[in-house]
């Protein structure tokens, strides 16, 4: 993989631990042929790990994020950063920081950034995914919606990656854990080796009610 992009990812702002980020990149590199897609990119740290894999594969990584921040980024919440507020509209705007991260790392040639709500973009997406990384809003409603709208696009043999999966509520929020359990209990996925809070699942089949692209 592109060692420069991996090093840039380590130094970028964000919440992805290095060991989990490198595991994410390795899993994306090993996925079958097709598109790599990330739901929830924040300032681009995890995007760079995926970009390192995409460049090695000779492909692209598509990211989708509305860039208004998740619930935990809003005023009064734990991860709020006043410096990310666009004073002209009074709302979080992570897009400028994301673009700086990708440009500074020299990854603009492999990153396709879409500014949209994930479920709205999923409704018009038409290509099979080889690798799907879910790391958007961590409320139950949003996490369940991300899984429901994007998992049907993942091809058989493709990899579903979910970040911040904590079985113990004392370690973190439970929404990612619940969608991880939902995917496993569907019978459509089997788990492969992950790293830390990063869980990796391989699609084995489509369920009877799953709509495919």
Give the structural domain span for 54: 3-203
pTM: 0.88
Whether 163 is catalytic is no
Residue 163 within any structural domain of the chain: yes
Which CB contacts under 8 angstroms, 24+ apart, belong to 93-96? 93/67, 93/68, 94/42, 94/43, 94/65, 94/67, 94/68, 94/69, 95/67
Does the pLDDT value for residue 88 go beyond 90?
no
Comparing CA positions, the residue from 195, 192, 197 lying closest to residue 23 is 195
- Whether the per-residue pLDDT at 67 is higher than 50: the answer is yes
Within a domain: 172: yes
Instruction: Write the pLDDT tens digit of every residue in 116-135.
Output: 999 999 999 999 999 999 99
Q: Which helix (H) or strand (E) holds 54?
A: helix 45-57
Q: What is the CATH number of the domain that holds 112?
A: 3.40.50.150
**pLDDT of 68:** 78
Question: How does the average pLDDT of the chain come out, rounded?
Answer: 89
Give dist(CA 119, CA 158) in Å, integer.
Answer: 20
Task: Considering the candidates 66, 67, 73, 138, report the single residue annotated as catalytic.
Answer: 138
Q: Domain count for the chain, please give it.
A: 1
């Amino acid at each position: 993989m592109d060692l420069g992009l991996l090093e840039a990812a380590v130094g970028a702002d964000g919440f992805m631990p290095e060991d989990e980020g490198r595991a994410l990149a390795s899993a994306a590199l090993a996925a079958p042929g097709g598109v790599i897609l990330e739901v929830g990119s924040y300032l681009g740290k995890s995007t760079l790990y995926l970009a390192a894999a995409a460049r090695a594969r000779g492909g692209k990584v598509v990211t989708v994020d509305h860039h208004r921040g998740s619930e935990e980024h809003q005023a009064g919440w734990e991860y709020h950063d006043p410096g990310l507020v666009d004073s002209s509209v009074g709302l979080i705007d992570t897009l400028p920081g994301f673009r700086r991260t990708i440009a500074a790392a020299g990854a603009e040639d492999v990153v396709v950034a879409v500014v949209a709500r994930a479920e709205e973009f999923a409704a018009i997406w038409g290509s099979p995914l080889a690798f799907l990384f879910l790391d958007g809003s961590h409320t139950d409603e949003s996490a369940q919606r991300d899984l429901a709208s994007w998992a049907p696009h993942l091809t058989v043999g493709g990899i579903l990656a979910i970040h911040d999966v904590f079985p113990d509520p004392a370690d973190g929020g439970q929404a990612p854990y619940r969608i991880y359990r939902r995917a496993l209990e569907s019978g459509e996925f089997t788990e492969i080796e992950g790293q830390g809070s990063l869980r990796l699942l391989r699609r084995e089949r489509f369920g009877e009610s799953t709509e495919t692209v």
